[in-house]
C-alpha cells in the first residue's frame, strides 16, 4: 500500500496497516514529516515519482491522504506514473473528490473512503495505530465502483479496526 500524505490520518493509516502486517510505504512533501516517519521505523519518501513508480510496480492500493486542494496535482502524478493502481481517499467530502478523480481519468480504479475519526492535532506526530479502532469508515458504493477495488478498501478499513459504512457519495455528503 502507498499512502500519499503522512499527517494525522495518513500517518495513522501507515502505522495501523503496518501493525496489521501489511507492506506499506508513504510519501509526504515535507522533509520533516518523512524524517519523523523514518525515525519511527516506517518506509517513507519525499519523492512522489519514486513512491508512485513503486506503487505501479507492485500494484499497490494508493491512499490519498492529503487536503482537497492538493488532490489535482497528485491525481496528475498518479495518471502519469501509476494509472492502473487501485485508488482511494480519506477526504471528508466525496462528490468533489469523485469529480477530481473523474477529471483525471482514474474513475474506474477509484473507491472513495472517509474514516470518521480524528483529533484536534495534525501532522505525523499526532497519528497512532489505534486512531481508527471502532470508528466508522464510509466506503463509497457508487455505480462505477469495481468490486475488486472496493474489497481492497474494505480490507484496509478492517485492518485499521474500523466499522464499515457503505454509502453513495451524494448520500454521504448530504448527511
Sequence spans of domains, the chain: 2-174
* pLDDT for res 132: 96
* pLDDT for res 129: 96
Query: Residues with Cβ < 8 Å from 100, sequence gap 6 or more?
Result: 71, 72, 75
Q: What is the pTM of this model?
A: 0.95
Give the three-state DSSP class for 151: helix
Task: Put the strands of the sheet holding 110-111 in their side by side order.
Answer: 44-45, 25-27, 2-4, 62-64, 87-89, 110-111
Is it true that domain 2-174 has CATH number 3.40.50.80? no
Can you spell out the DSSP letters for 13-75?
HHHHHHHTT---EEE-S-HHHHHHHHHTT--EES-HHHHHHHHHHHTPPEEE-S-GGGHHHHH
pLDDT along the chain (175 residues), means of 10: 98 98 97 97 98 98 97 98 98 90 97 91 94 96 94 98 92 75
Amino acid at each position: 500500500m502507498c499512502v500519499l500524505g503522512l499527517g494525522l490520518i495518513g500517518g495513522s493509516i501507515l502505522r495501523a496497516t503496518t501493525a496489521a502486517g501489511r507492506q506499506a510505504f508513504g510519501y509526504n512533501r515535507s522533509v520533516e514529516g518523512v524524517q519523523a516517519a523514518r525515525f519511527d521505523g516506517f518506509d517513507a519518501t519525499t519523492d512522489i515519482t519514486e513512491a508512485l513508480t513503486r506503487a505501479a510496480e507492485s500494484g499497490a492500493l494508493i491512499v490519498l491522504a492529503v487536503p482537497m486542494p492538493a488532490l489535482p496535482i497528485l491525481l496528475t502524478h498518479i495518471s502519469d506514473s501509476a494509472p492502473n493502481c487501485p485508488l482511494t481517499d480519506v477526504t471528508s467530502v466525496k462528490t468533489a473528490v469523485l469529480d477530481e478523480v473523474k477529471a483525471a481519468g482514474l474513475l474506474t480504479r477509484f473507491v472513495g473512503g472517509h474514516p470518521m475519526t480524528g483529533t484536534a492535532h495534525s501532522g505525523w506526530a499526532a497519528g497512532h495505530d489505534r486512531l481508527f479502532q471502532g470508528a466508522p469508515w464510509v466506503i463509497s458504493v457508487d455505480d462505477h465502483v469495481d468490486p475488486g477495488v472496493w474489497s481492497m478498501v474494505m480490507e484496509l478499513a478492517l485492518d485499521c479496526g474500523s466499522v464499515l459504512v457503505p454509502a453513495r457519495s451524494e448520500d454521504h455528503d448530504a448527511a
